Amino acid sequence: MLARVLVAALAGVVLSLAFEPVALPYVMPLCLAAYALCTREVRSRAGFVIGLAFGAGFYFPHIHWMSPSIGMPAWLALAFVEALFYGALGALSPVLQRLRSWPAWLAAAWVAMETIRSTWPFSGMPWGRLGFGVVDTPVANALAYVGVNGVSLLLALLGFLLARAVVSARGDERLYSLAAAVVVTAVAVLPTLVPWTLETTGQTTVAAVQGDVPGRGNDVLFDVEQLTQNHVAATVDLAERVADGSAPQPDFVVWPENSTARDPFADQSINDGITLAAQTIGVPILVGAIVDAGEDEVLNQGIVWDPETGAGDRYAKRHPVAYGEYIPLRSILPESLVNSGQLARIPRDMLSGSRTSPLPIAGVEVADSICFDIAYDDGIKVQVDNGAELLTVQTSNASFIFTDQIEQQFAITRARAIETGRYVVVAATNGVSGVIAPDGAVVDRTQRRTQDVVVESVDLKTGTTPGLGVGEALRVGTPVLTVVGVLWGVLLRRRDREQSA
């Protein structure tokens, strides 16, 4: 038992190396094979402990960036909660492995686990899904065909088939498992030969402004006025370069999340700065703003700011971060806890947005995401289904500017570009901003802790990739399949006991 726990923990640590900053995605199937082998033919209680060790080995290093940025207690708590999901799957693994085609059943359960923990409890935590780690591999183009969830399924199935080949008692079973692993690999790699492409309906020129954060660079509240002024100055400078012909005229401009960390409708100087920037550049600016929603609540919004008519359509962040942007169960927590440490920086709770239609900006239908929204499936899919031609990400990674979170999120954004078949424009307060092509290639990107502007002409796309539909079907269907598989495994176990009695 101890050996299984140690091997599982080591496999989890190795899985963390599949993602940034190391980015060795080819270890994924091997780590999942180890997970299946360690949880095989044990009691469910033992499977839970083994799975928990795997989850801890993976998730604690994977989101270690939370410790220096948000605080050690938050890192420990969140990593432990996420590790519990791998423990729960470990408890189900011995039951599912009683089934003849157990690699497929366990792969479905793996995807169910990933999708459930991505949305629950509270807003969940989608970091660490297998499909987010393949952007620089031959499997990347499969994202457009089967989505992030489908790629997770293929990688999990490949790993579990390898595990079955190891434990197969008969030679023909081993050959069958290896042959099936070859087929799964071929299915995952085949889209590289025939990448999915969407129809191009036009082109637009977009500027992503990275104004930089005053002070040390890791606190957007350090100097709120200067933070907004930095974005105003960078936009005005762009307008001057457009005027002298050294930069192309953008059709619209994207500012990052928290480019106005104070309500622009309550602070006249910030309002004036945004208006000045919009009028000087002469095109709409998608402004990232914190907007009051009463005494106890706020909204994190992307606001289309027209140079003539001012503030217009808005997108509100769909997935505020629990204990980072709002405090769940605030009313029942001790005041001493709520008013101390990191939680004291959250005096008001952030509300969740519910917009389902893209933002019309300068004649372009734009699917917006704010920071962690890019890692969730729902907001992107519904906006693309409703006609989005281009994706934007407004993000404030200032709190994580000295950590690996920056590169992890950028990799997730690249995966979304491939999955949706669209260009993505990223604007960050102080890194990393850039433009990503539909094949995941980085067209341009900034450096951290700099003031910079990226201006690129990008194609507008129409239609939807199969991956969005397949991914949604797996999100809904894999939990059902998991329940069916577990019940079947329990019945088989009961039948075997009755026959041996």
Show which residues are catalytic.
257, 317, 371
Q: CA distances (Å), 193 to each of 81, 190, 420, 472, in order?
A: 40, 6, 18, 25
Q: Count CA within 13 A, CB hemisphere, residue 347.
A: 4
Segments in 355-440 forming alpha helices (H): 378-385, 405-420
Cβ distance 50 to 83 under 8 Å?
no
Q: Which residues of 470-497 are buried (b: 16+ CB within 10 A; e: fewer)?
A: bbbebbeebbebbeebbeebeeeeeeee
d(CA 28, CA 124): 22
Q: Count CA within 13 A, CB hemisphere, residue 44.
A: 11
Question: What single string gives the DSSP state of each residue in 162-230?
Answer: HHHHHH-SSHHHHHHHHHHHHHHHHHHHGGGTS---PEEEEEEEEEEEE---STTSS-TTSSHHHHHHH
Token pair 């990226």 is found at 454
Nearest to 58 by CA among 15, 19, 22: 15
Tokens of 77: 């708590």
Tokens of 425: 């424009």
Q: Which amino acid is located at 290 in the chain?
A: I
Give just the sign of the alpha carbon dihedral 322, 326, 327, 330.
Answer: negative
Give just the sign of the alpha carbon dihedral 380, 386, 390, 392.
Answer: negative
- The pair phi, psi for residue 22, each rounded to 5°, is -80, -50
Helix, strand, or coil here: 1? Answer: coil
Torsion of CA 51, 56, 62, 68, to 10 degrees: 160
Q: CA distances (Å), 210 to each of 81, 396, 433, 459, in order?
A: 34, 10, 7, 22
d(CA 479, CA 485): 10
Nearest to 20 by CA among 54, 61, 57: 61
What distance separates the 2 farthest-apart alpha carbons in the chain?
Answer: 90
Tokens of 490: 């329990």
